[in-house]
Amino acid sequence: MKILYFSGTGNSYYIAKKISDSIEGSKLQDIATLFKEADFHHDVDDELVFVYPVYAFLLPLMVEGFFKHLKIKRGAKVYLVSNCAGKNMPVNSHVKKIIERKKGNVNASYEVQMPSNYIPFGGAEPDSKIKNLFDNADKKIEKIINAIKSNESGHFENGNFFYRLFSKPLWKFFVIGIKTKGGKGFSQNGRCNSCGICQKLCPSNNIELFEGKPIWGDNCEQCMGCLQFCPQEAIELGKSKGKRRYHNPRVKAAELFRNK
């Protein structure tokens, strides 16, 4: 079994790793790395589990590109696991359609609610709410693990019909924004100590260090990994100054390093 994930601040990785740790012989793979290496293949007898976050109701741009190029072979068992700060998101329905157009088959899909990391919408939630979200998420992840182990088929958490109606226009607006602005909205506030964590985390190689300080290019995924994992809280985006940061407290930054 291959468990493929995309993660900016650790939520998707957390889910993917818990699944992988519970299923003997499974292989954990980073979608960002596979995308950059143009490696979209799998063996015909593979079981595939895809774990991804929700961006603007649908997928991160890189993950959308990955699925569009993915070669799905008949016979593979496919499971989808999305995570988001909200509920009833339409992303699983969207991914299911992409896979079915490739003559693939999705056995089941699931949604896990996790704490928000998108600082333009506000700082981190209170610790009590984060704890409650993790308690519920862990129970849901355990159910997903048991469902995969028992080869569950036909269970689809495809989201709210109303959300599905306007998700694509909203996502296209989001994509136009990140393609236009790239990483230009990010800055460092003077507390940077040149640790380089932001550069190592970036899924799209969009951060360079100049004299030890980060400079953002035009290929940003808006994953928030650089801002949220910065140990000095030296990175800002828009009106993020003073807002409480969030990254998955059970995931270390080094577990997500892509550019070592």
pLDDT band at 61, cuts 50/70/90?
very high
Residues in CB range of 25: below 8 A, 6 or more apart: 1
Whose tokens are 């957390």? That residue is 14
Question: How many other CB atoms sit within 10 Å of the CB of residue 77?
Answer: 18
pLDDT tens digit string along 39-49?
777 665 678 99
Which has the minimum average pLDDT: 17-26, 64-73, 78-87? 64-73
In 3D space, the residue among 83, 3, 7 whose CA is nearest the CA of residue 49 turns out to be: 3
Contact 10, 250 (CB under 8 A): yes
pLDDT band at 260, cuts 50/70/90?
low
* DSSP symbols for the chain: -EEEE--SSSHHHHHHHHHHHHSTT-EEEEHHHHHHTT-----TT-EEEEEEE-BTTB--HHHHHHHHH--PPTT-EEEEEEEESSSS-SHHHHHHHHHHHTT--EEEEEEEE-----GGG-SPPPHHHHHHHHHHHHHHHHHHHHHHHTT--SEE----HHHHHHHHHHHHHHHHHHHHHTTTTEEE-S------HHHHH-TT--EEEETTEEEE-S------HHHHH-TT--EEETT-TTPPP---TTS-GGGG----
- What is the structure's pLDDT at 43? 65
- What is the structure's pLDDT at 44? 57
For residue 85, pLDDT beyond 60: yes
Question: Hey, where are the domains in the chain?
Answer: 2-164, 181-256
**What's the chain's average pLDDT?**
94
pLDDT tens digit string along 186-242?
999 999 999 999 999 999 999 999 999 999 999 999 999 999 999 999 999 989 999
pLDDT tens digit string along 141-187?
999 999 999 999 999 998 888 788 889 889 999 999 888 888 989 99
What tokens were used for 248?
Answer: 């998955």
Rounded Cα distance between 223 and 148, Å, is: 28
Class of domain 181-256: alpha beta
Dihedral sign, CA of 81, 82, 85, 90?
negative
Contact 142, 77 (CB under 8 A): no
For residue 104, pLDDT beyond 90: no
Q: What is the CATH number of domain 2-164?
A: 3.40.50.360
In 3D space, the residue among 259, 221, 250, 229 whose CA is nearest the CA of residue 12 turns out to be: 250
